[in-house]
Amino acid sequence: MTNTEPTALTAEQTDHADRRQRGTHLPGDGHMWLMVLGDLIIFGGYFIVYMVQRAMAPAAYLQAQQHLSITIGVLNTVVLVTSSWFVAQAVRAAADADYERAVRLIYGGGACGVLFIGVKAYEWTMKITQGYTNSNEFFMFYYMLTGVHMFHVALGVLILGIVVRELRNPRRRRPSMVEQGATYWHMVDLLWLVIFGLLYVMR
Amino acid sequence: MSATVVAASGGEPVGTEPRAPASKRDLWIVFWIFPTFFGLFGVIFVLLARVIPPPRPDVTTDQKVQWFASHATTIQIGFAAVCVVFGGAAIANGYVAYQMKRMTSGPTFAYAYMGAMAVGTLPGLLLVALCFSAATFRPDREPRISAMLYDLGMLSFNGSLGCFATGYLAFAIAILYDKNQIFPKWLAYVSIWQIVTEVIATQMWVSSAGPYAWNGSIAFWLAVIVFGFWLNCQGIFLKFATDRQPAGSRPAD
């Protein structure tokens, strides 16, 4: 809280705090929400197709599913939920104009994202060397869903990087920017929870 | 023809303005080629060339030959139509590039977009017409060769969707850097969905039935829905960008 320079409390920040109090505040911006809701619709389509295909051959899907390590799935879930905690804390720090803490927390969230990608890459390598490729329909879904999700995580790490860049510049730092990154990041987290349930856990 | 008529009625009231500012008629003529081309594209590929909805990949050689026999006439008319309107793809993409040059992100992304889209159009539009027309040219050809043209045409038409990914990336980055708001920021995000769905479509090269085949729910239909949404948004905002462009102004080279 030592770095609250006079220029830090801009009109936008005052307005931001005001709207938060009144409960009419939209975190981030409308563009990002359109991205998030659209993404959820598209992934929803993938999930429905997966469920339909699975219902047509439950035994084959169950048999293929046995080859996934639930431990790795749980590990990645913990990593990603932790990253969301970091990012959520960063939003709070930015709202309090404690930008240095916000940057540190976002670094933590981004590091978890990179770790998630690392674990996922390890899992893919293991599965491919064991011979479970996209010639099996379950594994086709596995590679597609986790691959698209991994792309979203990578994009999220890039977005968090942009947030850090903005936060470091005293003239450009603003809470809405952090919220925008956090909105996207929490969507990535939410999608993983569903993917984890569908691919690893559902029997 | 329709392009010029609409351009005259929908364009800026050049003649009625007392001070007669510079005309935007050229912009409107080129703009209307965008919806005209994609409208014709839809008619040709749905009604004539019969590639949307896609014929099944999981059929026998005889069924493929039979399919060509029963659609020979429309395929040939469709190919003739493709020859006439194919250049419209370049104009539609070129006009998007022209509006992109008005962005503060500079003309480099515009040229990247235009070039990348031109590359994608050849396998994604022309090659299927060539394959199908060649198949109908000699109906007595050895069946397995006709079957190969069937596969090649469809894989080229749908399987090459990823070739547009570079163009979409250039479009998305240009929008995100632009401060003139020629296109809304969310259209950049929709372009990223386009990249994702079209890269997933590559799975049709290893899957001949089910959701990842070239007529599959994921590889084809979801990608087409996203493409349709994206294209309509691009067209609408292209019109808004043309509306807002001051008459007589032109982007820097």
Residue A119 forms part of a structural domain: yes
Among the partner-chain residues B197, B207, B217, the one whose CB lies closest to the CB of A140 is B207
* DSSP at B246: P
Residue A61 forms part of a structural domain: yes
What residues of chain A, 48 to 87, have a C-beta less than 8 Å from chain B? 49, 53
Place A27 in a pLDDT band, splitting at 50, 70 and 90: confident
Letter for the amino acid at A118?
A: G
How is chain B split into domains, by residue range?
24-244
Residue A11 forms part of a structural domain: no
Among candidates B198, B253, B239, B247, which has minimal Cα distance to B96?
A: B239
Given CB atoms, is B211 within the 8 Å cutoff of chain A?
Answer: yes
Mean pLDDT score, B162-191: 93
For A71-92, how does the pLDDT look when each residue is reduced to its tens digit (9 = 90+)?
Answer: 999 999 999 999 999 999 999 9
User: Which of B176, B191, B212 to mutate against chain A (most A CBs within 10 Å)?
Assistant: B212
Mean pLDDT score, A160-165: 94
Q: How far apart are the C-alpha atoms of A198 and A117, rounded to whole Å? A: 19
Which chain B residues touch A45 with a CB distance below 8 Å? 218, 222
Mean pLDDT score, B5-9: 42
Q: With an 8 Å Cβ cutoff, are B184 and A144 in contact?
A: no
Average pLDDT over all residues of chain B: 88
Average pLDDT over all residues of chain A: 89
Residue A117 forms part of a structural domain: yes
Q: How far apart are the C-alpha atoms of A52 and A64, rounded to whole Å? A: 16
Given CB atoms, is A17 within the 8 Å cutoff of chain B?
Answer: no
Alpha-carbon Rg for chain A in angstroms: 20
Predicted pLDDT at A41: 95
Number of domains in chain A: 1
What residues of chain A, 111 to 130, have a C-beta less than 8 Å from chain B? none
Residue ranges making up the domain that contains A90: 27-201
Given a cut of 70, whether residue A11 has pLDDT beyond it is no
* DSSP string across B142-188: -HHHHHHHHHHHHHHHHHTGGGGHHHHHHHHHHHHH-SS-SS-HHHH
> Domain holding A36: CATH number?
1.20.120.80
Q: Which residue of A has its CA nearest to B206?
A: A135
Residue A31 forms part of a structural domain: yes
Mean pLDDT score, B79-92: 91
Given CB atoms, is B197 within the 8 Å cutoff of chain A?
Answer: yes
Q: What is the pTM of this model?
A: 0.85
Tokens 């038409």 map to which residue? B157
Q: How far apart are the C-alpha atoms of B128 and B137, rounded to whole Å? A: 14
